[in-house]
Structures are given as structure tokens and as C-alpha cells.
Structure 1
Amino acid sequence: MVDTKNATLLIKRYASRRLYNTETSDYVTLEDISGFIRSGRDVQIIDLKSGDDLTRQYLLQIIAEHEGRGESVLPLGVLTDLVRSYTTEVNSVVPQFLAQSFEMLRNGPANMMGNLGGSLPSIPGLEAMQAQQEAFLKAMTGGMPNAWPSAAKDTKPAEKEDLGDIKKQLAELQEKLSKLS
């Protein structure tokens, strides 16, 4: 028996643009697909005729619809930076940067500060990206200092000092960046 809870859900798009759930043998909407994803399912959307993977296109459409309805998750600055990243040399690191940011959100704050730049040591402008990443994470958590209270309780005094040093360094970097603008 296949474990459908963890398997990628295959959605086929017909020529009529209707979306067909191969698991339940019925048609679905973008809202249904959004619900599958929110419940933890991975989804793949394939064009039936050409075999093209349309998943990225539909995920972007879902995000655009949510943002358009006022369910804004992405601050205007982040959206602007995303658009800019398509026309700059930085576009090659943006996917990795975003993936790491969301991975840190999933893993909680205990790993967050350790991961800031931990695996990107050779990228030019890393400090600026780290400052942007902190701002992004702050925006995603609504700036709540106790977004994960259990991790704050477990923090050792030495880690608190390291965190303070990192925050000070990031503030200095942000100040330098604002002077460059």
C-alpha cells in the first residue's frame, strides 16, 4: 500500500486548463491545491499533452492570488528585491538564500543564528545578504521577539552573548549599507 500522506500528489492539467487530482480522480481548483500544500503535501502539476512540469507556474499563481486578496506575507521590499534579483548578478544566489531562510524558519531560532551565512562563506556581499536575511526573517515572524519562546529559555549565557555580538555586527552592516544607498 502506498503512503499517500508523504507521496507527491500528481495533478494533471488538461487542454481545457482543468486540473485533475490523480489520487482522488476528481477535478481540483487552485484553492484545493493551496490546501494540499498547507496540509504538508508536496504537489506536482504536469501538462497532460506536453508533459511539461507546470508546478512553479501554478505555485506562483497561488501566491499572487493570496497577495492580491490582501493576505500579504511578502513585504513590498522583499517583492521589489525579488524582481531586482532577476536582473542582477545576485540572481544565482537568491534561490539558495530563500531556501535557507525558509529552512531556518522551519527549524526554529535555535539554528537560525548559526545558519546565517554558515554555508555561504565565499559569496561576495555575504554581509549584506545576511542583513537582508535577518530583515526578511523579522518580517516573516512579525518582528515578535518571542516567536519561539522555548528556544529562548534553552539559550545558554554564552550563546546570548554571541547573539548580541551578531546583532551588533548586523546593525553595523545595515548602517554601512544605508550609507552606500
Structure 2
Amino acid sequence: MVDSKSGTLLIKRYASRRLYNTETSDYVTLEDISGFIRTGREVQIIDLKSGDDLTRQYLLQIIAEHEGRGESVLPLGVLTDLVRSYTTEVNSVVPQFLAQSFEMLRGGPATVMGNLGTSIPTIPGLEAIQAQQEAFLKAMTGGIPGAWPGTTSPTKTEEKEDLGDIKRQLAELQEKLSKLS
């Protein structure tokens, strides 16, 4: 469901660290901001004094709070790979991979299945990236019964096999990328 209001919702952070909704002229919490985003609103959070854009910082904080409360969406392996991506040459591929994965999720099952074979054709190590993308999509939808036609929650054995395949493919991709440098 997308909110009927259009445009980006501007939230200002005051020196007291309170967050102010400029549309409704009231203070909001991180949970309120999370709710706006879930309804389809784009949100921008600006520091009133410096003018700095704090949106990324607050979105990361919202994710950390949800993960900390046990509302885990990101498997431990994905979080670990994200941390690794900040210190390796793979970091240039990760944002594109994540953006394309979420774009496919927004498009629904037909888009996901149609794009898996054509999503990143120009990057060396395509097979490894596609396998990671498939595993990521499986992890993102595994907890939702019937989210995609024909999907079921993987067994522990399947998860271990998938993880082993992903680790092997990631190592192959990293080796190919290091040869390109």
C-alpha cells in the first residue's frame, strides 16, 4: 500500500536530537519513520543546524533496532558479507547487486524469475553473482509461506548446502575480481 501523499517527506533533526515532521508539524520517532517508509513514502532526514543529510544514518539505525529485537530479515551470512564488502574489491558490485535484488522483489514473482538469468550480464563471475542473488531472494522470502509460486522453506541440510555453494562461489568471484585488478 502506497501513501496517497506524494513527494519526499522532510524530517528535521533539532539540536536536541528530536525529529520533526514538517508535513504534520509534530515530533516523530524512529518507529513513526519506519511506518512512513512501510506505507511507501520516501523520507529525507536533515540536520536543522548543519543541513547535513542524515537519512542513511537513521535508516541504518532503524534496521539495527529491528534486527536487535529479533525481527531478523538479513541472515548472518548476508550481514557478514556486507561487512566484508567494505574492505574488499567486491564492494563495487555489492550496491548494484542489492539494488537489483530489491528492484526485482518490488516487481513481484514474474519479474524475479524473468530477471534471474539476465540481471547482471556484463560482470565477470556472473554465475556466482546469480547464485548469490538466488540465495538472497530465497532468504528474503523463505519465511513467507507461498510468497513465490513453488517456494517452500529450505531444510537445514539444504541451507547448509546452499551456504557452502555460496561461499565457494563467492571465493571464485573474489579470485576473478582480484585477477582483474
- CA deviation vs aligned residue, 1:102-151 (integer Å, no higher than 9, x gap): 111111121213312524222122211111110110011116684234xx
Q: Note if 1:48 corresponds to 2:48.
A: yes
CA contact (8 A) 2:100 2:119 kept: no
RMSD: 2.5
User: TM-score scaled to structure 2, two decimals?
Assistant: 0.78
- Check if 1:97 corresponds to 2:103: no
1:30/1:23 CA distance change after superposition, 3 Å: same
Match of 2:113 in 1: 113
Distance 1:145 1:39, change over 3 A: closer
In the alignment, structure 2 segments of 5+ residues that lack a partner are 151-161, 173-181
SS at match of 2:84: helix
Q: Alignment identity in percent?
A: 86
1:26-105 equivalences in 2 (<5 Å): 26-105=26-105
How many pairs align? 157
Change (3 A) 1:135 1:13: same
Deviates more, 1:20-29 or 1:123-132: 123-132
C-alpha change, 1:71 and 1:175, in structure 2 (3 Å) is closer
Structure with larger Rg: 1
Structure 1 unaligned blocks of 5 or more? 153-170
Q: Secondary structure at the match of 2:118?
A: coil
Bigger shift: residues 4-13 or 17-26: 4-13
* C-alpha displacement of 1:4: 6.5
Matched-pair contact (CA < 8 Å) for 2:141–2:148? no
4+ runs deviating over 4 angstroms? none
